[in-house]
Amino acid sequence: MYKGKSTATNKSDDAESRRRINIQQMQNVLLIWLDSNIDETNDDCQNTITKLRRAVNDVNTYTNGDQCLEFVQTIVDKKVCMIISGSLGQHFVPRVHSMSQIDSIFIFCNNRKHHEQ
């Protein structure tokens, strides 16, 4: 007969532990939104940025691909998640796709078939 210790897991403790791990992981994530139409004075744009910051503290917006690329090249020890407009994505994605700091790239465009690989 087995006389070892038994352990019971508490579902709320497990959920809390996963939440802490997710928060720690998200602190290491940098979100970059590249879109030539970003207008931070626009209410809709401000609302979108606010919602993004609820998920990731570090949100950077760019309207210029070259400035964005310069910034990405300076990033060390963070994972970069990018949201890129379809019009800029055609030229920008090939420039950053293989960079080690890039974790994921999302193309924000109405023409889905044009960007699928």
Q: Dump pLDDT digits (tens) for 57-73.
A: 899 999 999 999 999 99
pLDDT tops 80 at residue 31: yes
Question: Has residue 8 been placed in a domain?
Answer: no
Mean pLDDT of 63-89: 93
Question: Has residue 73 been placed in a domain?
Answer: yes
Do 71 and 42 touch, CB atoms closer than 8 A? no
Q: Where are the beta strands (DSSP E) in the chain?
A: 29-34, 58-62, 79-85, 102-108
Find the largest Cα–Cα distance for the chain.
Answer: 71
**Number of domains observed in the structure of the chain:** 1
Question: Has residue 1 been placed in a domain?
Answer: no
Look up the domain containing 42 and give its range.
Answer: 29-115
pTM: 0.71
pLDDT tops 50 at residue 12: yes
Question: Has residue 93 been placed in a domain?
Answer: yes
Question: Has residue 18 been placed in a domain?
Answer: no
Question: Has residue 81 been placed in a domain?
Answer: yes
> What pLDDT is stored for residue 115 in this prediction?
47
